[in-house]
Amino acid sequence: MGRAGLPTLASFLITRLGNVPFNGEIKEWALASAPADHAEILRRRDLFNNLRTLTALTVLTAFALLIVLPPWPADHAGRTDPVRPGPFRGPRTSGWS
C-alpha cells in the first residue's frame, strides 16, 4: 500500500464511520432539542475528529517527505560509498580527456 496508503484509508474510514453519523445526529438537534447526554456525544465526536485530523496530518507529512527526500536506491543496502543520482551509477566517463 505505500507509505501514505494506510493512514489515508484510516482517515476515510474514520470520516465515513465516525464523523458522518455524528454529524447527522447533530443536525437533528436543530429540529428538536439536544438529548440529555449531548455532552458525551460531542466528546465522542471530538475524539473521532481528532483521530481524523491526526491521520490526515500523517498523510500530509508522508507526502511531504516523499517529495523532499531523495529516493533510496534498492541496491544501496550495506554500501558505504556514495551513490550518484541518475540512471548511470558506473564510473563517470566522458568523451573528453
- 94, part of any domain: no
What mean pLDDT, rounded, does the chain reach?
79
Query: Per mean pLDDT, which range of 1-15, 36-50, 53-67, 80-94 is the poorest?
Result: 80-94
Give the chain's domain count.
1
* Residue 91 forms part of a structural domain: no
Residue 30 binned pLDDT confidence (cut-offs 50, 70, 90): confident
Question: Residue 45 contacts by C-beta under 8 Å, 6 or more apart in sequence?
Answer: 18, 19, 22, 23, 26
In a domain? residue 45: yes
Bigger pLDDT: 72 or 64? 64
Domain residues for the domain of 17 are: 5-69
In the block, cell 491526526 appears at 54
Q: Is 89 a member of any domain?
A: no
